[in-house]
Amino acid sequence: MNSIFVLGAIAMLLLGIIFGYIAAGRRSGPTKAAPEPVSKPPAKPAPAKKTAAKKKDDLKKISGVGPALEKKLHGLGVTTYQQIADWKAADIKEVDEKLNFKGRIQREGWVKQAKILASGGETEFSRRKK
List per-residue pLDDT tens for the chain, 130 residues long.
677 777 777 877 777 787 777 777 665 555 566 566 555 555 555 454 444 557 899 999 999 999 999 999 999 999 999 999 999 999 999 999 999 988 999 999 999 999 999 999 999 888 887 6
Closest to 99 measured CA to CA, from 78, 69, 77: 69
> At a CB cut-off of 8 Å and minimum separation 6, what does 75 contact?
none
Give the pLDDT confidence score for residue 48 in this predicted structure. 46
What DSSP state is assigned to residue 29? Answer: S
- The alpha carbon of 83 is separated from its chain's Cα centroid by a whole number of angstroms, namely 23
Give the pLDDT confidence score for residue 41 in this predicted structure. 53
Give the pLDDT confidence score for residue 27 in this predicted structure. 57
| Alpha carbons 64 and 54: distance in angstroms, whole number | 23
| Alpha carbons 33 and 27: distance in angstroms, whole number | 15
